[in-house]
Amino acid sequence: MAPTFASMELSQDTKNILGLHLPTDPRWVNLAEKSLGEILTDHAYCEQKAATSCISLIQRYSDREKLVAELAPVVTEEWGHFRLVLAELQKRDLKLGKQRKDEYVNALLDFQVKGGSPEDNLLDRLLTMAMIEARSCERFKRLSERLEDEYLRSFYRRFMESEAGHYTLFIELAETYIDKEKVRKRWKEWLDHEAEIMEHLVVRGDRIH
């Protein structure tokens, strides 16, 4: 079983959660709370894309038995999360809106190695997923602590714990197939790049990222 957020050794300083260099701008939660329908819609699509990304990895690396075995249940979990968020929208008489361009994820994808070795390509695909899960975890932590709606605070606490487990899984999978020192060196590069992305992104309340 992947470790939960609570069981991981994390700094109390938010910027150190999961190794992230920059914390979420405090204004983001306030903006998100004012755009609840939009943030839930974006969250739903994030969960949907997480499921399809895992399916894509399984299809591309079907010869990697551990990867397939570990990601298969994540597909089910992420799709279950999509259904939970969709149910929350319906409960609040809100509509699932249109999927929007994800500038954060697109900026991460641009950092993936181009024309590298099969090992480099696998590494960057796994680290991209790890990074998305890490930032999602940090964002869900913010929502679980600062939303005025007590039910939604609990709602996002559960998501936060799940994303932390997924983050560690993608790192562990990378270290299963690739030299650990190489993984750690490249992960540091990813953390540096993600901090630059966060520094320049406009703070918007209608996006999870």
Q: Which domain holds residue 55?
A: 32-200
Q: How many CB atoms lie within 10 A of CB 52?
A: 12
> What confidence tens digit (pLDDT) does each residue in 123-174 have?
999 999 999 999 999 999 999 999 999 999 999 999 998 888 888 899 999 9
User: For residue 98, is pLDDT > 80?
Assistant: yes
What is the pLDDT at residue 18? 65
Count of alpha carbons within 13 Å of 63, Cβ hemisphere only? Answer: 2
> What confidence tens digit (pLDDT) does each residue in 36-78 have?
999 999 999 999 999 999 999 999 999 999 999 999 999 999 9
In-domain check, residue 11: no
In-domain check, residue 1: no
List, in sequence order, the alpha helices (H) in 61-205.
65-91, 103-111, 118-146, 150-177, 180-200
Compute the distance between CA of residue 79 and CA of residue 204 in angstroms, rounded to an integer: 25
Buried b / exposed e over 166-177, threshold 16 CB at 10 Å, is bbbbbbebbbee
In-domain check, residue 24: no
User: For residue 6, is pLDDT > 50?
Assistant: no
Domain count, the chain: 1
Share of the chain above pLDDT 90, in %: 80
The reply to whether the predicted model has a pTM over 0.95 is no
In-domain check, residue 17: no
CB 125 within 8 A of CB 57: yes
Among 137, 154, 168, smallest CA distance to 17 is for 137
CATH number for 115: 1.20.1260.10
Token reading at 30: 């306030």
Compute the distance between CA of residue 150 and CA of residue 102 in angstroms, rounded to an integer: 28
Task: Classify residue 107 as exposed, middle or buried by CB count within 10 Å of its CB (0-12, 13-18, 19+).
Answer: middle
What is the pLDDT at residue 162? 82
Residues contacting 161, CB < 8 A, separation 6+ = 4, 5, 6
In-domain check, residue 5: no
Question: How does residue 19 score in pLDDT terms, banded at 50, 70 and 90?
Answer: confident
In-domain check, residue 7: no
What is the pLDDT at residue 165? 83
Quick one: DSSP state of residue 201? S
- Name the more confident of 166 and 109: 109
Task: Report the length, in residues, of the chain.
Answer: 209
